[in-house]
Chain A
Amino acid sequence: EPEVTQTPSHQVTQMGQEVILRCVPISNHLYFYWYRQILGQKVEFLVSFYNNEISEKSEIFDDQFSVERPDGSNFTLKIRSTKLEDSAMYFCASTVQSEKLFFGSGTQLSVL
């Protein structure tokens, strides 16, 4: 069964450094998302992406965040200057044209 793939599974970085989280959505999907879950908290929406542009973003998704679909298969989340509070599990999700989202296994980001 096709699945959403995320790399790396764990990322440790120093505060102020840039990180790029990578995702390969399911191949025929059209809508792409990033969510995050801080330990012990709910899964929070960050951004949605369709037709090569952001369709919606949350207030968490400030100027430090950006997304890109550089080559038609990868979907990346960049955090320009990481903060301690960016430490979380980041999930990529995709869907073809449905309310049902398929999630990747996540990238655990630890900012020291």
Chain B
Amino acid sequence: DQQVKQNSPSLSVQEGRISILNCDYTNSMFDYFLWYKKYPAEGPTFLISISSIKDKNEDGRFTVFLNKSAKHLSLHIVPSQPGDSAVYFCAASGGYGNKLVFGAGTILRVKS
């Protein structure tokens, strides 16, 4: 049951350049999308989110874009920094109180 898919297991980017992480979903009932960052042996940490009524949300170096018709969202990190190296999970929700459904994650490596 892969309702949320992150098709790129890993991404390597040079420091200062843009990192683009992609996520696709299949369930039309999802109306809220989140990105979490995770370091080894730690819990997921919330990064940024977007409601289905928006197509873009920006927070500092992080921007999330949502294309509802394509059921696709992306996370842009610019400029990328070595400290951004982590696993990034896309997650989707059908509303508050509902579970989050996670993608498989993308390992981001930012090279200095």
Contacts and interface: CB of A to CB of B under 8 A. Distances in A.
Interface of A: 4, 6, 31, 33, 35, 41-45, 48, 50, 55-56, 89, 91, 93, 95, 97-106, 108
Given A106-B41, A108-B41, A100 B97 contact: no
Contacts, number: 63
Contacts of A106: 41-43
B44 interface: yes
A103 B45 contact: yes
Contacts of A31: 96-97
A43 B102 CA distance: 6
Contact of A100 (B34, B95, B99, B102): B34
B43 A103 contact: yes
A45 B44 CA distance: 13
Among A43, A98, A104, which residue has the most Cβ atoms of chain B within 10 A? A43
